[in-house]
Structure 1
Amino acid sequence: MGLLGIVIALGAMIWLAFRGWSILIIAPAAALLAAATAGEPLLAHWTQTFMGTAAGFVAQFFPLFLLGALFGKLMDDSGSVTAIAEWMTRVLGPQRAMLAVVLAGALLTYGGVSLFVAFFVLAPMAHALFRAADIPPRLMPAAIVLGTSTFTMSALPGTPAIQNAIPMPFFSTTPFAAPGLGIVASAIMLTFGLWWLSQRENAARRRGEGYAIAEEEASPDEVAERPLIRELASTAREFDPAEALQGSRSDEPPAAFIALLPLAVVIVVNLLMSFVVLPRVDADYLGLPEWGATTLQAVSGVWSVIVALTAAILCLIALNFRRLPELRDSMGAGAHAAALPVLSVASLVGFGAVVASLPGFGVVRDWVLSIEGGPLVSLAVATNVLSALTGSASGGLTIALDALGGTYLTRAFDLGIDPAILHRVAVMSAGTLDTLPHNGAVVTLLAVCGATHRESYGGIVMVGIVGPMLALAAVIALGSWVGSF
């Protein structure tokens, strides 16, 4: 009955979430349902297991949600995101419309701009380019997904995406874990995605299919106000779309160099903190109880991203102070944009903690750990499944690592596997099957682009699932054969 209760609770949570119910309500309700079917104490599971784990997630990762949302909002309101999109359009032009959209998305997200902020700028840019190049707009969502939600989220070394930060405390790794494997994976995703998009573009031209909009485009502001999209988006990424409407956007974007500089600061400072500054810090005091009895290795990855984003925010404000006349309101909106996502993902993590503590979960754990192919394959399967079920890469990844991270780390040490490979495999696995039709980022992107699942979801599958799956398989094979590099 315990395992059946877990399945029923999970199914109810998924069904209600996709109907627009707040995950803040249904996650604890589903956790209590699972506990009740197992005959476990309900109040203890709610206040001790659920809330204890959810609070731990917030304590560990809220700074990253906060700083990421702040940076994205300030980049948007200063006009920097628009300036970068316009610069990329000028450099590549309509004749390379597909490549321009992909590279603009990659540049923004690898530089730390929140996904939904990027969506709201890239969609109008893509419409203009695709119209000039006479490319069917149904290919737009796939091009944007390739640039924003694949290699820059899960594979490129040093990416400040929250998904890349989550494994660091579990495996004592840095944002640059397994850099060589990450670069190989990025090359596979990008090459496959661009090849597929070019094939579809050429096929459309042979059929005489060009740019045509079947219905009026929805503005980003209209999309952000839709309640269902807000609820779905809150578990998918680290920015509440509703806050995109707050603050005041600059009417005079900065020069491209000024707009790009804060992105460079994120990357350079992250690199310096990871390999130059923190390795030289004497942090033995972290072993004391008042500091959580931890180690520098366990927190250095998160600290690196925190310092990098903070430095980029200060640089951005200094360079664009005159373009941010309502700085207080913009920063308030950025802070508020982090609140709902971090609590939503924390609620998913709390649900996972309750489920993992139930006797029936032992069957699931034994099945996952018995998967042939070793811990890398097992970790990939577990993370993929949980990310798909929750519709959240960060939620599925944290649930998997909370329940099984210690076991995988022990097995890795026994087999001589570098924890950096576990990190890279876990992050890449979270960024594959989370891209299912119900994913909040997918729903939001289609709405912003004025497309439907029927028109455009097939392309999203190819560049957002098939390409990353190929890259994941390559990383597992290479990591098993030659180790981390």
Structure 2
Amino acid sequence: MGLLGILVGLSLLIWLAFKGWSVLLLAPIAAVVAAFFSSEPLLAHWTQTFMRSASGFLAQFFPIFLLGALFGKLMEDTGSVSAIADYMTEKLGTKRAILAVVLGGAVVTYGGVSLFVAFFVIAPMAQGLFRAASIPRRLMPAAIMLGTSTFTMSAMPGTPSIQNTIPMPFFGTTPFAAPGLGIIASAIMLAFGLWWLAREEAAAKARGEGFGDDDALKSAADLADDETLRERATASHEFDPAEIAHGEVAATRPPFWSAAAPIVVVILVNLILSLIVLPRLDLSFLSKPEWGGVSPAAVTGVWSVLTALTLAILTVLALNGRRLPDLRGTMDAGVNASALPAISVASLVGFGAVVAALPAFAMVRDAVLGIGGGPLVSLAVATNTLAALTGSASGGLTIALDALGSTYLQRAAEIGMDPALLHRVAVIGSGTLDSLPHNGAVVTLLAVCGSTHGKSYKDIFMVGILGAIIALVVVIVLGSLVGSF
């Protein structure tokens, strides 16, 4: 009955979340249902298991949600993201329209700009380039997805994405875990995605297929009132789409160097702190009870990302803050955009904690750990499966590591495996099957581009899922043969 309860609770969560119900309501209900089937104390699991785990997630990661959303909103409203997109358009032009869109999205998201902010800025760029180059409109979502939601989210070493941050407290790693393998995985995702999109572009031209319907793109204001879309989106990524329409965009755009400077700050500060500054500091005081009794490795990775984003925000304000017509409105929208996504993902984590505490979960754990191929394969399967079921890379990743992270770390220690390899496999694994059709980012991107699943999802699947799976397999094989590098 306990296993049945887990399945019923999970099915209830997936079905109603797909219908647009709030995860804030669904996650505790699903957790209580699972506990009921196991004859476990319901209220105790709600307040002592669910809420403690959810609050623990917020304590660790809410600052990153907060600063990431604020940075993204400032970059949007100062015109910085648009300036970077314009630069890519100018340098690459219509002859390399797909590459321009992919690289434009990659630059801003690797620099810390929130995914949904990038969608609303890169989509108009893509429309103009694709129309001029007579590339089918249906390929726009896949090109944007490739640049914003694949290698810069999960594989590029140092990316400040929440997905790349989550494993650090579990494994004591940094944002630059397994950098060589991350670069190889990024190259595979990018090369495969560009190959597929070029293939589709050539086939379309051979058929005489042009850009197609020249309908206007959906604006942030158009989508802000779509509650079903909002509920799906906020559980999948770290920015509330409803807040994109708030604030006011600058009337003029900054020069490229000024727009790109904050992104450079994010990358350089993150690198210097992670690999040079923080490892040399005496942080032994963290072992005292008043500081949580943690090891420095459990927090320094998060600290480096927080500091990088903070300095990048100050850089935006220093260079381009005077361009903002409504500084307070922009900052309010940015910080408000972080609240619902953070609490939504925390609720998914709370649900996972209740499930992991049930006696029947032992069968699930043993089945996952018993998968052949070693800890890397079973870790990849666990993160893939949970990200697919929840439609959230961050939620699925945290649930998997909350339940099994310590076990994987112990197994890695027994065989002499570098925890950095676990980190990279877990993050790439979470960014594959999370992009199934019900994923909030997929639904939002299609809506922004004015396309549908029927027209565009095949290409999203190829560049967002298949390419990532190929890269994940290569990383597992190389990691198993030669270790982390």
Scaled to the shorter chain, the TM-score interval is over 0.9
The residue that corresponds to 1:358 in the other structure is 358
The residue that corresponds to 1:141 in the other structure is 141
The residue that corresponds to 1:9 in the other structure is 9
Question: Displacement, 1:80?
Answer: 0.4
Whichever residue aligns with residue 269 of structure 1, its letter is V
Alignment of 1:182-197 (within 5 A): 182-197=182-197
Q: Deviation per CA, 1:117-153: give whole Å up to 9, x if none.
A: 0000111110110000000010111100100000000
Root mean square deviation of aligned Cα: 0.8
User: Whole-Å Cα distance in 2 between the matches of residues 467 and 6 of structure 1?
Assistant: 31
Whichever residue aligns with residue 415 of structure 2, its letter is L
The residue that corresponds to 1:119 in the other structure is 119
User: Whole-Å Cα distance in 2 between the matches of residues 332 and 292 of structure 1?
Assistant: 31
The residue that corresponds to 2:56 in the other structure is 56
The residue that corresponds to 1:480 in the other structure is 480
User: Whole-Å Cα distance in 2 between the matches of residues 445 and 484 of structure 1?
Assistant: 34
Does residue 283 of structure 1 match 2:293? no
User: Whole-Å Cα distance in 1 between the matches of residues 290 and 400 of structure 2?
Assistant: 28
The residue that corresponds to 2:129 in the other structure is 129
Q: Deviation per CA, 1:146-175: give whole Å up to 9, x if none.
A: 000000000000000000000000000000
Preserved contact between residue 220 and residue 242 of structure 2 (Cα < 8 Å): no
Preserved contact between residue 124 and residue 217 of structure 2 (Cα < 8 Å): no
Question: Displacement, 1:240?
Answer: 0.2
Question: Displacement, 1:201?
Answer: 0.2
The residue that corresponds to 1:219 in the other structure is 219
Return 5+ residue gaps in structure 1 as ranges: none
User: Whole-Å Cα distance in 1 between the matches of residues 183 and 308 of structure 2?
Assistant: 21
Q: TM-score normalised to the size of structure 2?
A: 0.99
2:371 counterpart SS class: coil
User: Whole-Å Cα distance in 1 between the matches of residues 95 and 408 of structure 2?
Assistant: 48
2:113 counterpart SS class: coil
The residue that corresponds to 2:152 in the other structure is 152
2:235 counterpart SS class: helix
Whichever residue aligns with residue 399 of structure 1, its letter is I
Whichever residue aligns with residue 259 of structure 1, its letter is A
Whichever residue aligns with residue 39 of structure 1, its letter is S
The residue that corresponds to 2:443 in the other structure is 443
The residue that corresponds to 1:296 in the other structure is 296
Whichever residue aligns with residue 275 of structure 2, its letter is F
Q: Deviation per CA, 1:303-357: give whole Å up to 9, x if none.
A: 0000000000000000012112311111111110000000000000000000000
Preserved contact between residue 393 and residue 434 of structure 2 (Cα < 8 Å): yes
Whichever residue aligns with residue 81 of structure 1, its letter is V
User: Whole-Å Cα distance in 2 between the matches of residues 272 and 79 of structure 1?
Assistant: 28
Question: Displacement, 1:219?
Answer: 2.3
User: Whole-Å Cα distance in 2 between the matches of residues 280 and 215 of structure 1?
Assistant: 56
Question: Displacement, 1:214?
Answer: 7.3
User: Whole-Å Cα distance in 2 between the matches of residues 48 and 332 of structure 1?
Assistant: 33
User: Whole-Å Cα distance in 2 between the matches of residues 60 and 326 of structure 1?
Assistant: 31
Return 5+ residue gaps in structure 2 as ranges: none
Question: Displacement, 1:218?
Answer: 2.3
User: Whole-Å Cα distance in 2 between the matches of residues 61 and 217 of structure 1?
Assistant: 33
The residue that corresponds to 1:43 in the other structure is 43
Q: TM-score normalised to the size of structure 1?
A: 0.99
Question: Displacement, 1:416?
Answer: 1.0
Alignment of 1:365-376 (within 5 A): 365-376=365-376
2:417 counterpart SS class: coil
Whichever residue aligns with residue 428 of structure 2, its letter is M
Q: Deviation per CA, 1:85-133: give whole Å up to 9, x if none.
A: 1111111111110000000000010000000000001111101100000
The residue that corresponds to 2:109 in the other structure is 109
Preserved contact between residue 387 and residue 397 of structure 2 (Cα < 8 Å): yes
Against the structure 1 CA distance between its residues 232 and 84, is the aligned structure 2 distance closer, same or farther, given a 3 Å change threshold?
same
Whichever residue aligns with residue 326 of structure 1, its letter is D
Q: Deviation per CA, 1:241-283: give whole Å up to 9, x if none.
A: 0001111110101001100000000000000100111011111
Does residue 471 of structure 1 match 2:471? yes
User: Whole-Å Cα distance in 1 between the matches of residues 356 and 464 of structure 2?
Assistant: 29
Against the structure 1 CA distance between its residues 130 and 214, is the aligned structure 2 distance closer, same or farther, given a 3 Å change threshold?
closer
Whichever residue aligns with residue 457 of structure 1, its letter is Y
Alignment of 1:73-92 (within 5 A): 73-92=73-92
Is 57-66 or 218-227 further displaced after alignment? 218-227
Whichever residue aligns with residue 193 of structure 2, its letter is G
User: How high is the sequence identity, in percent, across the aligned residues?
Assistant: 67
Does residue 348 of structure 1 match 2:368? no
Question: Displacement, 1:215?
Answer: 5.4
Q: Deviation per CA, 1:20-73: give whole Å up to 9, x if none.
A: 110000100010010011100011000000000000000000010000000000
2:232 counterpart SS class: helix
Whichever residue aligns with residue 467 of structure 1, its letter is G
The residue that corresponds to 2:324 in the other structure is 324
User: Whole-Å Cα distance in 2 between the matches of residues 176 and 221 of structure 1?
Assistant: 37
The residue that corresponds to 2:239 in the other structure is 239
User: Whole-Å Cα distance in 2 between the matches of residues 437 and 97 of structure 1?
Assistant: 26
Whichever residue aligns with residue 453 of structure 2, its letter is H
The residue that corresponds to 1:422 in the other structure is 422
Question: Displacement, 1:404?
Answer: 0.2
Q: Deviation per CA, 1:158-194: give whole Å up to 9, x if none.
A: 0000000000000000000000000000000000000
Question: Displacement, 1:216?
Answer: 5.2
User: Whole-Å Cα distance in 2 between the matches of residues 158 and 10 of structure 1?
Assistant: 33
2:250 counterpart SS class: coil
Aligned pair count reads: 485
User: Whole-Å Cα distance in 2 between the matches of residues 396 and 448 of structure 1?
Assistant: 25
Alignment of 1:147-186 (within 5 A): 147-186=147-186
The residue that corresponds to 2:403 in the other structure is 403
Whichever residue aligns with residue 88 of structure 2, its letter is M
User: Whole-Å Cα distance in 2 between the matches of residues 200 and 317 of structure 1?
Assistant: 42
